[in-house]
Amino acid sequence: MKINYRIDDLINHPTVAQTFEEVTRFEKIPTVIMDDAVEASLYVAHEIAALIRRKQREGRQCLLGLATGNTPIRVYAELVRLHKEDNLSFDNVVTFNLDEYYPMKPDSLQSYRRFMQEHLFNHINVRPENIHIPDGTLEPADVISFCRNFDKAISDAGGIDLQILGIGRT
């Protein structure tokens, strides 16, 4: 897979840095710039697959923080493909989703739980008990306690190894 930083698109602008190193010198996390969303999605899916496999070799769980929306759909599709065609196992994967609409029943059309089932969970071998999505059916008085317990579950499991975030259009 070719990584193209597209810095040449920026070079002629007088207020923009001239090299990739200059563009990313203040970044605290590794930065990769791709030509398009498809290329980026494939890259991310393969990074996730490598992490899952490394954790499997170490005999450890892989904790993934997941998001919904358009941004990760191609990532999830590639993970499903890797599971079906390349024997990527999700036996050691524990997932924590970022959010859920509230109030929201899990089978509602707009539910993030439903989204995750349709785009990822129904197509891979992740254990149901390893899927954690905020509960959109709680009584209002129970929400804060649920959130504390959700955070504690992440901490108790060792923290998120990799977090997927959607960037949307804004």
Spell out the residues 6+ positions from residue 126 whose beta carbon is closer than 8 angstroms to its own: 90, 91, 93, 95, 120
Distance, CA of 11 to CA of 9 (rounded, Å): 6
* pLDDT per residue rounded down to tens, the chain (170 residues): 444 444 444 444 455 445 667 766 776 777 788 989 999 999 999 999 999 999 999 999 999 999 999 999 999 999 999 999 999 999 999 999 999 999 999 999 999 999 999 999 999 999 999 999 999 999 999 999 999 999 999 999 999 999 999 877 64
Domains of the chain: 60-163 (3.40.50.1360)
Does the pTM surpass 0.85? The reply is no
